[in-house]
Chain A
Amino acid sequence: MLKLSRITKSYAGVIVLRDIDLSIPRGRVMVVIGASGSGKSTLIRMANGLILPDRGTVEFMGEQVTAATALALRRRMGYLIQEGGLFPHLTAHDNVALMPSRLGWSLDRIDTRLFELLDLVRLPKAALARYPSQLSGGERQRVALIRALMLDPELLLLDEPLGALDPLIRYELQADLKALFASLGKTVLMVTHDLGEAGFFADEIVLLHQGAIAQQGPMAALLEAPASPYVARFVRAQRGLAGSLVRPPP
């Protein structure tokens, strides 16, 4: 589905990603985790061509992601960021309808798709008439999720989707997201800094450290067989911070 081969990227001489090889099979949920500055945000932006690699290739469904192909390929990937990235000048409805209507969808088609998704993400219909500033943080993320799902993408890219939410709302949305992944069977690439969250969602976890993969595998492997002292430290630190919250892998 998504294949990154020997990716290297640097900014102003500082290497952010070094020789990354990564492949996500269809229907799997991969979570990239790492400290800030580990390169995880750069990595997820490479998947849809917001950032292009200095060396190496990104392939999506067998097609290389380049400046020329990115526009069309992005419409087959849903993208959700921390604060939702909703356009403040548009209502929730117009935010989610923007791209479909640019593609020439009829209003009926848009609304039909929209009502399917409202149920799926558990958002009340009344929220659609409001502007982003009139919605709660959780509602905003649900609207942004609808926007990401409108075109029924094959791949979902989630960059810290729950990062800015209150604990209670975060807990609710976590559960909803998990159910949604299971029911849609979408391929997912998610970025988070929270090991607990990673364990909750991931089929496979990728721990990034200074632009390179420190360990890749299921949660259990990270916990029980850390590949390096850094992995052990990272795991210990997160468990120590909120040890009881780290859920066991499913």
Chain B
Amino acid sequence: MSYGALLLLSLWLGYALAAGAKNASGVTVGSKPFTESVILGEIATELLRGRAIEVRHKSQLGGTRLLWQALLAGEIDLYPEYTGTLLEEILGNRLKGRREVSALREALAEQGLGMSEPLGFNNTYALGMLAARADLLRIATLSDLRNHPSLKFGFSNEFMARADGWPGLKRAYGLPQQSAVGLDHDLAYRGLTSGTLDVTDLYTTDAEIRYYSLRVLRDDRGYFPDYRAVFLYRADLEQRLPAVLPVLRRLEGQVTEETMIALNSAVKLDKVPESQVATGFLNQRLGIPPAEPRLASVSADLGRRTVEHLTLVAISLTGAILVAVPLGILCARKPRLGRWVLGGAGILQTIPSLALLVFMIPLLGIGEWPAIVALFLYSLLPILRNTCTGLRDIPRSLLESADALGLPRFDRLRWVELPLASRTILAGIKTAAVIDVGMATLGALIGAGGYGQPILTGIRLDDTGLILQGAVPAALLALGIEGLFELAERWLVPKGLRL
């Protein structure tokens, strides 16, 4: 490769990273990847912004575990959480069965965290089904489900896995249904209306309950704990930015169940942007006049996302090439060691992306770096395998000819082996690049932006247009990269091998 191109690439990467670097001052608010959490995050953000506190909102991060780790690591300062989730899921082991609020606060304080008073509403888990179908089957309570073992259950992935979710519920009620599928919460509603699902988990403040005419099944054994919304924050906020907590406390007790359902409906069903819903709420409820709206045009967004996405792909792929090609050479030279290295890269490939991201928060925080490292790890295998195979498949007679000329080992590699394997190696890099472009959409889960951002938001808001705003450029980018590699092949693969 020409050195000029490398230099340009590194300059651009440096620029992109510098632009993406976070400034240390101010407050960072986080939120989970569902609408209610994003709205609450926006409300906190707008409220603080109105008090001239510098604030950023890292919205729709990957999930409870990810936010919790990010809060502990200081990557975010506060985020909306639910008491039930804290009791059952996050601190379940530490509390050892104690369920009082004081115990909860104690356990949080041990971790350097604090918790606001409840904001008002209780958004507990519930199971729901289409009202018409529930009536037909005479199902009103969770106990009634026992009589219908053939019902098809589909739950959000988080509910499937949580201690207080499906496993516990199944035990508590002795439910006979064996198969339950895990899927995205927002897709579950479509499953209900299309008839592929009968029962799904709900949040009691979901806007969709009314919209889809759902029956919320009564929790007649009182299985689900209270899920009162609170803000979790880092205790060091009190010293670092003393103005923040008193402002945040103004929200305590202000959000009733009806209010929350209305806010959720405004965003999900009426397609009002979250920030506008948040300022509207602050204005009506707390009499706070809306600050200047933050504007962002679609084209500016697209440009920014493209830079973010390309940054993720370029850095992770460059790193993967620099590591995997030498490793591939090693694999070809030492087959026994090679098997271990290839096996290791194969195992990396099987780690679910969200799990990988959660592992990395303590080391790398949130933002582009954990996403880059994850993409880097996923890109290793195709490059490694193709480099190794490409080198191993070179006929022995050619290697012997090179040796017989008196070519030193390095020259043999540089002038004979790598050129002969170039096509296979390049094919591996191409595979890695195309996978990388697709995988880079997961960057949105950890605040690295990219085309995944509109896709994630689009799924959450059931907005196909928004999904396409991310999916189409991602697909075009993959095609573009594919084309780029066709060109690179003409340049890098010796002509003699293309006859």
Name A residues whose Cβ lies closer than 8 Å to a Cβ of B.
45, 48, 50, 71-75, 77, 79, 81, 83, 85-91, 98-99, 102, 131-134, 147, 157
- Docked complex Cα distance between A102 and B416 (Å): 12
- Docked complex Cα distance between A94 and B166 (Å): 69
A81:B496 contact, CB within 8 angstroms: no
B404:A87 contact, CB within 8 angstroms: no
Known contacts A85-B398, A87-B398, A89-B419: A50-B404 contact under CB 8 Å: yes
Residues in chain A near residue B411, CB distance under 8 A? 102
Known contacts A83-B397, A89-B419, A89-B420: A98-B405 contact under CB 8 Å: yes
- Docked complex Cα distance between A99 and B402 (Å): 9
Residues in chain B near residue A88, CB distance under 8 A? 398, 420, 496-497
B420:A87 contact, CB within 8 angstroms: yes
A133:B405 contact, CB within 8 angstroms: no
Most chain B CB neighbours (cut-off 10 Å) among A74, A75, A88, A157: A88
A79:B401 contact, CB within 8 angstroms: yes
Does chain A have a CB within 8 A of B236? no
Known contacts A85-B400, A89-B494, A102-B411: A71-B419 contact under CB 8 Å: no
Known contacts A71-B408, A98-B407: A133-B496 contact under CB 8 Å: yes
- Docked complex Cα distance between A149 and B198 (Å): 82
B407:A85 contact, CB within 8 angstroms: no
A75:B405 contact, CB within 8 angstroms: yes
Residues in chain B near residue A79, CB distance under 8 A? 401, 404-405
Does chain A have a CB within 8 A of B415? yes
Name B residues whose Cβ lies closer than 8 Å to a Cβ of A.
397-398, 400-408, 411, 415-416, 419-420, 422, 494-497, 499
> B494 — nearest CB in chain A belongs to which residue?
A89
B404:A74 contact, CB within 8 angstroms: yes
B405:A91 contact, CB within 8 angstroms: no
- Docked complex Cα distance between A87 and B394 (Å): 11
- Docked complex Cα distance between A90 and B398 (Å): 12
A50:B400 contact, CB within 8 angstroms: yes
Partner of B406, one of A71, A81, A83, A132: A71
B397:A133 contact, CB within 8 angstroms: no
Q: List 23 A-B contacts (CB under 8 A).
A: A45-B400, A48-B404, A71-B406, A73-B406, A74-B403, A74-B404, A74-B406, A75-B405, A77-B404, A81-B400, A81-B401, A87-B401, A88-B398, A88-B496, A88-B497, A89-B494, A89-B497, A90-B496, A91-B496, A98-B407, A99-B405, A102-B407, A131-B496
Q: In the complex, what's the smallest C-beta–C-beta distance from B190 to chain A, in angstroms?
A: 54
Partner of B397, one of A72, A85, A89, A157: A85
B420:A147 contact, CB within 8 angstroms: no
Residues in chain A near residue B397, CB distance under 8 A? 81, 83, 85
Q: Top 10 A-B pairs ranked by shortest CB distance?
A: A85-B401, A89-B494, A79-B404, A75-B406, A74-B406, A131-B496, A89-B496, A99-B405, A89-B419, A89-B497
Partner of A131, one of B400, B420, B495: B495
Residues in chain B near residue A89, CB distance under 8 A? 419-420, 422, 494-497
- Docked complex Cα distance between A91 and B495 (Å): 9
- Docked complex Cα distance between A207 and B495 (Å): 44
Most chain A CB neighbours (cut-off 10 Å) among B398, B407, B496: B496
Known contacts A88-B497, A131-B499, A133-B496: A74-B405 contact under CB 8 Å: yes
Residues in chain A near residue B415, CB distance under 8 A? 98, 102
> A133 — nearest CB in chain B belongs to which residue?
B499
- Docked complex Cα distance between A28 and B397 (Å): 27
Residues in chain B near residue A87, CB distance under 8 A? 398, 401-402, 416, 419-420, 496
Residues in chain A near residue B406, CB distance under 8 A? 71-75, 99
Q: A79-B405, A89-B419 are known; give 16 further A-B pairs, CB within 8 A.
A: A50-B404, A72-B406, A74-B405, A81-B400, A85-B400, A85-B404, A86-B401, A87-B496, A88-B496, A88-B497, A89-B420, A89-B422, A91-B496, A98-B415, A102-B415, A133-B496
> B397 — nearest CB in chain A belongs to which residue?
A85
Q: In the complex, what's the smallest C-beta–C-beta distance from B407 to chain A, in angstroms?
A: 6
- Docked complex Cα distance between A15 and B408 (Å): 30
- Docked complex Cα distance between A45 and B415 (Å): 23
- Docked complex Cα distance between A71 and B411 (Å): 12
- Docked complex Cα distance between A77 and B415 (Å): 21
B403:A50 contact, CB within 8 angstroms: yes
- Docked complex Cα distance between A89 and B49 (Å): 64
> A76 — nearest CB in chain B belongs to which residue?
B406
Residues in chain A near residue B495, CB distance under 8 A? 89, 131
Most chain A CB neighbours (cut-off 10 Å) among B402, B404, B494: B404
Residues in chain B near residue A74, CB distance under 8 A? 403-406
Partner of A134, one of B398, B419, B499: B499
Residues in chain B near residue A50, CB distance under 8 A? 400, 403-404
- Docked complex Cα distance between A203 and B359 (Å): 74
